[in-house]
Structure 1
């Protein structure tokens, strides 16, 4: 196995991380007019230890600079006008303006910094070039997204999500304009890094790193390339790409602020409802929410934009991941800060924990961010699995789009409260610094924002059956239900309605129909149910009235297994379904028109059966016939054709071995699986290269995950399962394909499944 080499590489990577400190890492409404008014705040931030109005990160940078050097800074003050006047007095050119937070970006000589910071028009200074990086290191069940789809008609229709990241590759099938829900998937692209903006449809966006594409796919991808398997949460929504990170996955604080201000300024132009930001900072000291990025995040929420930001990927242990602190903009007081859980709901060890620098609880809520599969940039139709709060954040953003679609009257603060109030509490009771308020529960959140859905009632006629024959006085049985209450049930025979609400036996509503008062022949029976919201449901069947004598219909007979045209091998159990209104006398089967075989005594409670040994006949097409005989010798038969194939397939391939290896460190387990595919026969085979192996894993809690790899020259396919929880895991090969060989599971040496306690 290669797992030892992977552990060595991981330790070398950790050593590299430990040599770097203070890094930034990256991770993902409605119309109103915003008036920006200066608000003077008390000055005691956690990030300015000497209170000299210069951020500690900038102070540290200045100490390493020479006298004649210049530096790019973010200056924050009471108003843009006062800041611009101060910049002019120091002969500094303003490069960016941020009216949302009353700040500007400018370049200034180092020797002027001290005087500039003491100017009464300056509140504080930050490093405009401070590096930001992606939080790059699924699953929908734990966040109730399938339940939401099942109960509500919301998939992001009419919603626009801004992805502030490395860009979006909208040539991928899941993100292109061949979209069943919209004429255009990406409707605008702002490129802060390279200036390659595109605001004219169709949009030509790009992503030279891949992180943003992955996030966009999680939030809103159509899943077209996977036939829906890997579609995004709000898959019917549209996207705006805002590229603020480079091809290396990093950007400066000024670039991030430029992108955020652009979103605020253009939210009404493009109808932006949701913003996803999977990026941020990581330092030894947590942010207190008063730095420019956090303030800009607050301003986005105030502007009517529901903003989701990543908590960070530097959780526990710190020697492995970095500083386990809440950085910026994750410390924003108003934005929704997202942490990561695994598929089973357990905390992802890389997910950052609070509190903030001013002792507020963060993160706010959690979503799945571990091993999430989504679109791979520059691939057109391929996928890749990543882990991180980067992945949890667009998941939450997609959920936010569903809530906003369901009730556009709620503002971002109200929607944040709903997400927290309906979250599934985890960890310590109440909101805590590991799980926040808990795991987002999408269906419960939709229940709150919609006031709960009221579905129409259901109704069905249980007896008699459609197209059956009735006589004498026949009791008609009707089943009706509603998610709130059924107020009335009615029955109509040939169009005349009768209220039968009071006729209820505890299971069915009923009506005793005297068929002798009706003519012989065909009649209609209709049933209608009404609920407390006056919603109705109706169904109709046809029956034949016959009172001229006792009715004895012929029996029914259907071969349920195998199906028409199916290929069978070895001993195959033939299943026959048969019934009669008076009783079955005999069930028989025969092969290729031979002698009838009585299988009346072979009944498993659902089917009559016969174990057919197909090795007793030649390979090729054969007929199977079954017949049912009732008590008055009426018979009904069913015939199908099947293909018998018992000879070993030429160029057959099969599984020789499935080997699971694991490496444990403390409470963590790293797992890898090797599957060996061979060609030949079980007694004489060789390793086969170029075979595509599809593997499915099942966790101790029952969640499943699919993987795919191609065998190497020795016939081995390698699967890096990664860090997993302890317990019983099941690894099953679902399929094997090859251009020149056919997979024959009957030749597998030890089967296709391995169960291991890890």
Structure 2
């Protein structure tokens, strides 16, 4: 956005960060973690109070789902101002129509026992770096606020370098453009990149995969899923109550995280259908129904859970009349009380149940797919 104080366009950091997260599978270069995700580039200066607020507010207003930040500082003279704290918190709680933007920050590459100050924010997913051998990357900062780690390069943190800097020598460069030159030209594409600046967008790409299978996840739920499905690498004694200051809750596992996101989609309790609040008068609450035992297999759409049996009858009659599908009621005990779970449909496959869910949604009724085997 032209309204945001712009960073210097000559620097070479943002492009490889974005590539790790979502580079397209187009036969050229690398493929990102979420190659079908959409990209919203936002360039600004990371230490400007006003620019930081503008950047996060811009993301919220323009519909960003995930905000990946491979920038920040561990300078002991720096502290996160209230304005910046509030901007991050606002995005994490108000973005995505109240579900919260998923915000990730790189932990930092200083080999220190504290994180990038932005990464330490409680609403942030702080990402450290591990190696291809599932070891701690020596440069990756450590701390109790670390959420997870993800594979990056070992040795020293390469920020970014283009191949045209490689003259075929074996010299290490200087400043921001340090790299080991191997003498192989790759044209004008990037060939050197790593650090927590790379591990952070890798996790951001995995977050995009989670939302692709379950867009209803909140930012807090995404963080919980990443942490609970991560693999405990390193030594067992490095973890206290499941957390390590070197690895966070472990190295991210995209396969397990996506599976958990899908599981939560299938078992999520939908918004409760409005129950009957008026008293059913004598002669007005007469129902005729036939009851048979339902085999515990197949698929339906869970509509809600009710505490009053009269409300179950009222909803069952309306649903069956409107959609022509059988109503299945599961009787459960919850908090010492009997409750009734109402499921519409008893289909042999998920696709038929999904088709019914679409009809329900079109009619303004919310629900979610439910396997009758765990109803």
User: SS where residue 72 of structure 2 aligns?
Assistant: strand
* 1:277 and 2:69 aligned: yes
C-alpha spacing 1:301/1:237, structure 2 compared with 1 (3 Å): same
Distance 2:20 2:29 in 1: 12
* 1:370 and 2:159 aligned: no
1:294 Cα offset (Å): 3.4
If the length of structure 2 is used for normalisation, what is the TM-score? 0.56
Q: Where does residue 138 of structure 2 map in the other structure?
A: 349
C-alpha spacing 1:432/1:194, structure 2 compared with 1 (3 Å): closer
Distance 2:163 2:52 in 1: 22
C-alpha spacing 1:221/1:414, structure 2 compared with 1 (3 Å): same
Q: Where does residue 333 of structure 1 map in the other structure?
A: 122
Q: Where does residue 230 of structure 1 map in the other structure?
A: 30
* 1:265 and 2:56 aligned: no
Q: Deviations over 1:138-187 (max 9, x none)?
A: xxxxxxxxxxxxxxxxxxxxxxxxxxxxxxxxxxxxxxxxxxxxxxxxxx
Distance 1:293 1:275 in 2: 15
C-alpha spacing 1:208/1:377, structure 2 compared with 1 (3 Å): farther
Runs of 5+ consecutive residues of structure 1 not aligned to the other structure: 1-188, 196-205, 317-323, 355-360, 455-484, 486-531, 536-758
Runs of 5+ consecutive residues of structure 2 not aligned to the other structure: 95-99, 165-185, 267-296, 298-346, 351-375
Contact kept, 8 Å, 1:340 with 1:368, in 2: the verdict is yes
Contact kept, 8 Å, 1:423 with 1:440, in 2: the verdict is yes
Aligned with 2:107 (options 311, 315, 323): 311
Q: Deviations over 1:116-149 (max 9, x none)?
A: xxxxxxxxxxxxxxxxxxxxxxxxxxxxxxxxxx
Distance 1:369 1:330 in 2: 18
Q: Where does residue 203 of structure 2 map in the other structure?
A: 396
Distance 1:348 1:223 in 2: 28
Structure with the higher fraction of residues in strand conformation? 1
User: SS where residue 42 of structure 2 aligns?
Assistant: strand
Q: Deviations over 1:182-202 (max 9, x none)?
A: xxxxxxx5573349xxxxxxx
Aligned with 2:221 (options 414, 422, 441): 414
C-alpha spacing 1:334/1:293, structure 2 compared with 1 (3 Å): same
The list of structure 1 runs, each at least 4 consecutive aligned residues, that deviate by more than 6 angstroms after superposition, is 371-375, 377-380
1:252 Cα offset (Å): 2.7
Contact kept, 8 Å, 1:222 with 1:232, in 2: the verdict is yes
* 1:243 and 2:43 aligned: yes
Distance 1:377 1:264 in 2: 36
Distance 2:152 2:31 in 1: 15
Structure with the higher fraction of residues in helix conformation? 2
Contact kept, 8 Å, 2:106 with 2:116, in 1: the verdict is no
C-alpha spacing 1:222/1:207, structure 2 compared with 1 (3 Å): farther
1:329 Cα offset (Å): 1.0
Distance 2:139 2:82 in 1: 24
Q: Where does residue 696 of structure 1 map in the other structure?
A: none
* 1:451 and 2:263 aligned: yes
Distance 2:189 2:3 in 1: 25
C-alpha spacing 1:239/1:376, structure 2 compared with 1 (3 Å): farther
1:384 Cα offset (Å): 2.0
Distance 1:422 1:331 in 2: 21
Relative contact order higher in (CA < 8 Å, ≥ 6 apart): 2
Contact kept, 8 Å, 1:277 with 1:308, in 2: the verdict is yes
Distance 1:367 1:273 in 2: 20
Contact kept, 8 Å, 1:275 with 1:306, in 2: the verdict is yes
Contact kept, 8 Å, 1:276 with 1:397, in 2: the verdict is yes
Query: After superposition, where does 1:431-580 map in structure 2 within 5 Å?
Result: 431-451=243-263
Distance 2:265 2:47 in 1: 44
1:410 Cα offset (Å): 0.9
Contact kept, 8 Å, 2:12 with 2:160, in 1: the verdict is no
Q: Which has the higher Rg, Structure 1 or Structure 2?
A: 1
1:432 Cα offset (Å): 1.9
Q: Where does residue 15 of structure 2 map in the other structure?
A: 213
C-alpha spacing 1:350/1:276, structure 2 compared with 1 (3 Å): same
Query: After superposition, where does 1:743-754 map in structure 2 within 5 Å?
Result: none
Q: Where does residue 599 of structure 1 map in the other structure?
A: none
C-alpha spacing 1:255/1:452, structure 2 compared with 1 (3 Å): closer
Q: Deviations over 1:534-571 (max 9, x none)?
A: 59xxxxxxxxxxxxxxxxxxxxxxxxxxxxxxxxxxxx
If the length of structure 1 is used for normalisation, what is the TM-score? 0.29
Distance 1:293 1:398 in 2: 24
Distance 2:25 2:35 in 1: 8
Q: Deviations over 1:416-444 (max 9, x none)?
A: 10000001123423112111101110100
1:370 Cα offset (Å): 1.5
Give the root-mean-square deviation of aligned CA atoms: 3.4
Contact kept, 8 Å, 1:279 with 1:310, in 2: the verdict is yes
User: SS where residue 34 of structure 2 aligns?
Assistant: coil
Distance 2:116 2:161 in 1: 28
Contact kept, 8 Å, 2:13 with 2:159, in 1: the verdict is no
